[in-house]
Structure 1
Amino acid sequence: MDGETSRKTVLIASAGCAVGGELAERFAATGALVVVADHAERRALALARRAPGRIESLTLDCLRPGQCRRLGEIWGDTPLDLLVHLHPLRSPRRLGAAVAAIPALTRALMDGLAQGEGLVLVGCRAASHDARPEARAFDAALAALAPHMQAEAGTHARVNVLRLGPYTGRTALIHEARRLAEGARDGPRGAVINLA
Structure 2
Amino acid sequence: MGALLSLASAVCYGVVDFAGGLLSRQAHYTVVTFLGQIGGLLLALAAATLVPAEAVRRPDVWWGALSGAGSGAAMHFLNRGVARGAMSVAVPISAVTGVALSVLCGVLLLGDRPTLSAWLGICLTVPALWIVSGGADPGGERRSLTDGLLASSGVALQYIGLAQAEPASGL
TM over 0.5: no
Greater share of helix: 2
Q: Answer 1 or 2: higher relative contact order, Cα 8 Å, separation at least 6.
A: 2
